[in-house]
A and B are shown apart, each in its own frame.
Chain A
Amino acid sequence: MLSKLTFERKILKNIDYSIILSVLFITLSGLISIGAATLAFSEGNWQRIAFQFIWFIISSAVFIGVILIDYNIIGGYYKILYIISIILLIAVLLFGSVRNNAKAWLGVGPLGIQPSEFAKIATIITLAKVLDDIDNINTFKNLSKIALISLIPMALIQLQPDTGTNLIFAMTILGMIFVAGLDLRFIYWSLIAGITSFIAIWKLNILKEYQKNRILVFLRPEMDKLGAGYNAYLAKIAVGSGKFFGVGLFNSGLTDGKFIPEAHTDFIFCVFAEKFGFIGVILLFLAYLNIILKGINIARTSKDRFGMFLVIGILSMFVFQILQNVGMDIGLMPITGIPLPFMSYGGSSLLTNMISIGLIVNVGMRRQKITF
């Protein structure tokens, strides 16, 4: 066992430190924004910011653990990881606590965890492993296998229900199989199927009333400024009110007035954009882009296909979470409860993201030697 943990010191210099710096920058922005949203600076409510910081320390430790172990060793345990995540998803349905209309939490308070977050990682690892094994994805057998692996956790998540997480799940998997060479016909077909099933879901009342409302309001935000559309409407005002330089961290705005619910979690981007303005948003996006573009490079130069699929899966997850989370604050996407990576308050999410980034760095530092 121990021998597996030892690694060549020289691979340390293969670590992309700019990714780590970007993560640090984003997490720090997140901590400050959480502080603003929970009135830490004006009223001394340091509790949330403190919890998040503790989670950050824990996550950082886990991150170091993740990069120390060769990702192929981690990948070797994919079956166990997958099964554990499924068990946790079942456990949450049985013993979980309800927050915001969804039974998504195990444990209480700041120590509660969201198994669906870990399920994402477990599923990405599993799928990357499966995709690595198969030569041609475009066979019925292979596609069925992928579908089965994906749909089991998704079905369990839908039971919570957490449509938002499933959306990301779907996009992540789509990203992976797209890169794996999925025939574009399938994408067209699934688009058609998707639209059809959306209509069916709508008609069959599978979506909860509030979810329907959110979608309706997204399509016609002027419909109801005091009801479900109110959050979307206020979020947009909050972002816009940041102007170029922001209102400033210690100046009050909409986001610290409880006008926006869950400002420290789902709507954290509002807080940041309001306080730091367009200039802050540019810096934040540069940090995100750095992680993603460097990540794509890592995927391309990965020494094996497993590493590539793993990185692409994680990047898909990040990209669509950013798109969804930021998009809902600026009226481009419907309102869902999806956290913004490294920014939103929440231990499970931060931990998952740090593991994910650990895996990317892991693949990167063990890439093929490029000799010139």
Chain B
Amino acid sequence: MDKKEATRVAVFKVIVYIIFITLISRIFYLQVINGEYYRTLAEEKGRKFINEIAPRGEILDRNGQKLATNVQSFNVTYNNVKSKLDNDEINKVLLETIRLIIKNGDEAKINTPTFPIVYNSGSFYFDFGSNDYEINKKREKKFKELYSLNENLDARQTFIELGKKFDILTSYDKNNLNFKYNMTLEEALRLMAFRHMLQESKFSQYRAIYIAKNVAKKTALAIEYYRNQLPGILTEVAPLRKYPNGEVGSAFLGYIGKIGEEEKDYYSSLGYDLSRELVGKQGLEKVLENNKELNISLRGEPGGIEVDVDKFGRIIRETARLDSVPGDTVVTTIDLDLQKVTEKALDETMKNIRTGKIKTDAPYPNATIGAAVVVDVKTGEILALASRPGFDPNWFAEKGSPPKELIDYLWPQNGVYGITPLPTYNYATKGAVSPGSTFKPLVALMGLEEGVITPDTIIYDKGVYDGLPGFNGACWIWNEKHRTHGPVDVAKAIQVSCNYFFFEVAKRLGKEKFYEWANKFGLVSDPKTGESPNTGIEIEESPGEVANPQKIVKSNVDVTLLNIRENLKRKYGIYINKDTAGYKALRNMLISGQYDENLLDSIGILNENAKKYIKYEMEYLHTDANKLYQILNAAIGQGYTDLTPLQMVSYISTLVNGGYRYKLHLVKKVLNPDGTLKYENKPELIQKIDIDSKYIDAIKEGMKKVTEEGGTASSTFRNFPIQTGGKTGSASVDKYLKSKGRAAYGWYVGFAPYDNPQIAVAIVIYNAGHGSYAAPVAKAIYEQYFGLNKSTEIQKSSTFDH
């Protein structure tokens, strides 16, 4: 070895050191510095949890009667992990299972995996489930890529290719397709859909797929009997949600369904099994699904097995087993018997109105929608809450979506707003409509409390109101019969529903006091903070508001904008096209009321006169919304006043109980799975409103008179054994809507008994014509609640008075 070589060997040694130092530094970085991070990543990769869904918590009424419970059901599942069957064997097992299920009469229970090829009247079609062409194209591409198919194949060619791939097809030509095992085309399609489902879940093979859900016991036994011939097929016993009372209570119970695309991230973060678990989609089922705030979980804690899986998702070993914890039992404030009566009374009353049984000369055929709420005025407990027509939550419970034939009924595509009922829409908590005269008692209270009237103040009804220039509202009696009520005091005004009286009271009150009081009762946003009103109910509500100026602006802005665009076009040749950025900017400026000249310049409105004109229109929009006449209209429950039955019952309850605005609530208590008490919902005050009891008495007196001779609800409550108070409301609709078949909303709000009120009710029937027509529902509720007579037949009223 010469000197040069010796040097080179030394250099070689240095290189070796460099290499090893590099490697060890990098490994030190990975294992020691970032080890924790990689350990977590690794564990997530290889460890999976197979949920064993816990029985969902029961929902009971206040007396322990079941509103929602669980029954044992049998599901048929398939998993190819252990048996490792080949193409043909899988087909055989699946086909025989399907045939066995059909033979036992459970065809309807067979799962329908989403599969894009359909066969209809002699031809194959693609159906990728979207109305959007682009989305369908994308899905088609993805689907074909999954099977490495040429993307130009049509539906039939694709079917043939898959038929070959899955070994379903024996031969085919232009006209004929022949399948293995004497399969019909339908069977082949069904089989292919399941094969596709398996293909899609290729990377999570530790999970079984559903072949059928909730099959009859007989079917399950038949499958068990042939189990040796059906490797991979299993029957599992699983809890199935059951609503023993069918439609009763659907408005607040809601329903459960498959986890939707937009909910996937949320539920996946909570550890839900997205493909198998059903979650609450509405009502109590939704809000109590997994409510961290209230610490209530209907879902419970799923048990199951923790397994290590390989990269194909096949189970390597079981590492732990966990028992499931059933969901919480929720005892509601609902009285099931009262709920039944309420729904039945609503249905029958609506039917009577439609068929003319209530007012024979003029039936209102479109009295199709109704809602009613009953609350305990001393606690805010909701005793009954109905929105009719409803739905049977059992329709959703099995598969997570209703049968196809019911979809049009549940979610009508083409209907007339306010006439075609939306059965899944909760009209009691979300249907904010004009309350009409039922709002008047509150205006009376405002007047008395603010001292603008006393119980003895007399106001002369002169027909057309003349107290506010430019406002020409009139009393209904003037409009209908050209008469006036003459001198009226507050009790009389309530009894005869005198508009004139309440116009005057509202005018005397002024806007500030009016909004302040409406806000106290939860009927308008907080004038200071802008916070929206709410009743406190656990389930979703969308409360309305009483003539909120901002809402008025928003309601009118589009008309204003239309005018502006017309004029700009005509006078200045400036075109502002709809839905452009300029259009939106202009609209936002109009809503905000902040004049912005730069903005107008930027959207091409440079003409000074045009600018002035826009400024004028904008100012008018805002001035008008803030004008005094708005609250005069609101005082009679018209104009821009929309409230939900829930808000109405809250206000009546608060009024008659002396000013205690309780949180309306549905949850009375929550029980642990073992039956012990987990949580009890105590009545909770939102606000104590200071009201002088003598004013309450004056208003109650007026409301009592409504039910007595001469009152608008007298015919219903004639000879009623208990004294009650109430108020009818007939919120009229405009001519345009009338031409569409709409008619006045019929409202009835009431409380009983008169002396010591226990319950308050609010009822609305759409297109009922008159508020008095809704009163029989209240009567049926009182009869049930006070146990007056067991017959719930609704009295037919032959006469009617205002």
Interface set of A (CB-CB < 8 Å, partner B): 39, 42, 175, 178-181, 234, 236-244, 247, 252-254, 256-259, 273-274, 277-278, 281-282, 285, 288-289, 292-293, 296, 299-300, 302, 305, 308, 312, 315-316, 319, 322-323, 326-327, 330-332
Contacts and interface: CB of A to CB of B under 8 A. Distances in A.
B569 to A, nearest CB: 54
Interface stretch (B1-9, B93-101, B330-338, B571-579): B1-9
B308 interface: yes
Interface stretch (B140-148, B173-181, B284-292, B309-317): B309-317
Which secondary structure dominates where chain A touches chain B?
Answer: helix
B183 interface: no
B362 interface: no
A282 B11 CA distance: 24
Contacts of B38: 236-241, 243
Given A252-B317, A254-B45, A243 B36 contact: yes
Contacts, number: 141
6 contacts: A240-B42, A243-B31, A243-B39, A273-B27, A305-B5, A316-B12
B9 A244 contact: no
Nearest to B3: A181
Contacts of B1: 300, 302, 305, 308
B32 interface: yes
A289 B20 contact: yes
Given A243-B38, A258-B312, A289-B16, 15 more contacts: A42-B316, A239-B31, A240-B38, A243-B36, A243-B39, A256-B316, A259-B45, A278-B31, A278-B32, A281-B31, A285-B23, A300-B9, A323-B23, A326-B27, A332-B23
Contact of B42 (A237, A244, A293): A237
Interface string B1-43: 1101110110111011001101110111011101111110111
B35 A244 contact: yes
Interface in B726-774: none
A123 B312 CA distance: 42
Residue with the highest number of chain A CB atoms closer than 10 Å, among B23, B32, B316: B23
Contact of B30 (A178, A257, A330): A330
Q: Which of B2, B26, B27 counts the most chain A CB atoms within 10 A?
A: B27
B308 A252 contact: yes
Contacts of B310: 257-259
Identify the 3 closest CB pairs spanning chains A and B, nearest first: A240-B38, A243-B35, A241-B42
B200 to A, nearest CB: 15
Nearest to A230: B311
Interface string B279-321: 0000000000000000000000000000011111000110100
A238 B42 contact: yes
Contact of B19 (A242, A259, A323): A323
A296 B5 contact: no
Contacts of A292: 16
Interface SS of B by simple majority: helix
B483 to A, nearest CB: 81
A173 to B, nearest CB: 14
A285 B25 CA distance: 12
Contacts of A315: 12, 16
B604 interface: no
A330 B42 contact: no
B46 interface: yes
B12 A296 contact: yes
A296 B13 contact: yes
A195 B319 CA distance: 51
Most buried by A among B15, B26, B36: B26
> Which of B13, B37, B46 gathers the greatest number of chain A CB atoms within 10 Å?
B46
B16 A240 contact: no
A279 B319 CA distance: 27
Contacts of B46: 252-254, 257, 259
Given A302-B1, A332-B26, A241 B12 contact: no
A327 B35 contact: no
A181 B45 contact: no
B28 A278 contact: yes
Contacts of A322: 19, 23
Nearest to A244: B32
Given A237-B45, A241-B42, A296-B12, A285 B316 contact: no
Contacts of B15: 319
Interface string B100-119: 00000000000000000000
Nearest to B23: A326
Nearest to B36: A243
A234 B12 CA distance: 33
A56 to B, nearest CB: 25
Nearest to B319: A252
Nearest to A316: B12
